[in-house]
Amino acid sequence: MVKPLPIALLATLAILLLAPVALAQSYTFFMEPPDGRDGLVELEVRQPDIAVHGISFRLRGQHDGYTVRIDRIGNDLEWVYDNFHISTPGLEAEPEDVIIELKVNRTWINDNNVELSTIALNVYDGVWKRFQAVPYAEDPDFLYFISESPRLNTSFALSGEPVPVVIEISSPCNGNDVCEPERGEDRDNCPDCVILAQTRCIPSEKYCSGDSLFECSEDGSAFTLETCVFGCADGACLLSAPGVAGMAVAQDPLFVTVVAALLAVILLLAVLVKRMRSELLKVERRKDSNEEFKKLVKS
């Protein structure tokens, strides 16, 4: 399965194309024409100092004897276990259904803290392509993998990446309602960062911390503390619990004054209406009394 190459690995593999083949360590295998119509070729490499453990592929048509050559190119590139070039002198057609068996030394895996799932065969096919290497066997010294390849006559690199390092960052907040920059506390990452330690606050500025309201003094030297019964929000105590009567009302002095004035006006209007109703009732009673008197006189 083809997988995308990380940019760092891609840059590393680009260097491999510049490696001089003249410095390579070569292995040449003389091959007889494949038996059978399917043209299957299986080559056991089994050389201790090269990552290639075996090769299999198919040849279409009739072929005479030919050779398979593996040039191992030494490298000291990070996360590249081995790189090599494979060619098939004497064959005009490109082999098909290429499968390459690989082996990786356990020491290299442990020393570099390599994640096994990242071990892959990188194949140069105009551009570098990364193919998953599937583990299939192991012994005390090596782990064995198998990988497909789109072609055989090209350059290869067997690579692996380190296990990701997980860094756990503990919160600097200690919940003491004091900002301590030396611990890494600030108002962005600590809800309890209210009072600035060893510094002046902003005069008349208000802060909420839980159910507590802090207000900076006029000279900016200290905070006064008020505990809110229904909680604190947006620099003010709440008049009711959140969710009660549809919403929480902030305890604003101006708001309280306006509400008190409205209540006084409503109370005054209620008294006036009551008095007016009483006077109207007296008028109705007098009217009814006059009507009764007129009826009595006529009688």
Q: Answer yes or no: do 69 and 206 share one domain.
A: no
Q: Answer yes or no: do 140 and 62 share one domain.
A: yes
**Any domain includes 281:** no
**Any domain includes 261:** no
Query: What's the whole-model pTM score?
Result: 0.51
CA distance 299 to 284: 23
Residue 129 pLDDT level (bands cut at 50, 70, 90): very high
Last-in-domain residue among 127, 159, 191: 159
Q: Which residue has the tokens 């399917």?
A: 38
All residues at 6 or more sequence positions from 85 whose CB lies less than 8 Å from its CB, including other chains: 21, 24, 70, 71, 73, 154, 155, 156
Q: Answer yes or no: do 75 and 200 share one domain.
A: no
Does residue 128 register a pLDDT over 50? Answer: yes
Mean pLDDT on 34-62: 85
Last-in-domain residue among 159, 194, 227: 159
Range of the domain at 144: 2-159
**Res 205: pLDDT:** 79
% of the chain residues with pLDDT over 90: 30
Does residue 77 register a pLDDT over 80? Answer: no
Q: Answer yes or no: do 232 and 100 share one domain.
A: no
Residue 51 pLDDT level (bands cut at 50, 70, 90): very high
Task: Count up the domains in the chain and report the number.
Answer: 2
Q: Answer yes or no: do 78 and 145 share one domain.
A: yes
Going from the C-alpha of 176 to that of each of 195, 223, 234, 249, the distances in angstroms are 9, 14, 20, 28
Q: Answer yes or no: do 34 and 130 share one domain.
A: yes
Q: What angle do CA 207, 213, 217 make, to 5 degrees?
A: 70
**Any domain includes 36:** yes
Last-in-domain residue among 132, 159, 186: 159
Q: Answer yes or no: do 38 and 108 share one domain.
A: yes
Residue 8 pLDDT level (bands cut at 50, 70, 90): low
CA distance 90 to 103: 28
Closest CA to 23 of 69, 79, 71, 67: 71
**Any domain includes 40:** yes
Does residue 91 register a pLDDT over 90? Answer: no
**Any domain includes 296:** no
Q: Answer yes or no: do 33 and 73 share one domain.
A: yes
**Res 251: pLDDT:** 52
Using one digit for the tens of pLDDT, what is the confidence trace for 174-224? 766 666 666 667 666 776 666 554 455 677 778 777 777 777 777 766 667
Q: Answer yes or no: do 73 and 21 share one domain.
A: yes
Q: Answer yes or no: do 190 and 121 share one domain.
A: no
Q: Answer yes or no: do 81 and 200 share one domain.
A: no
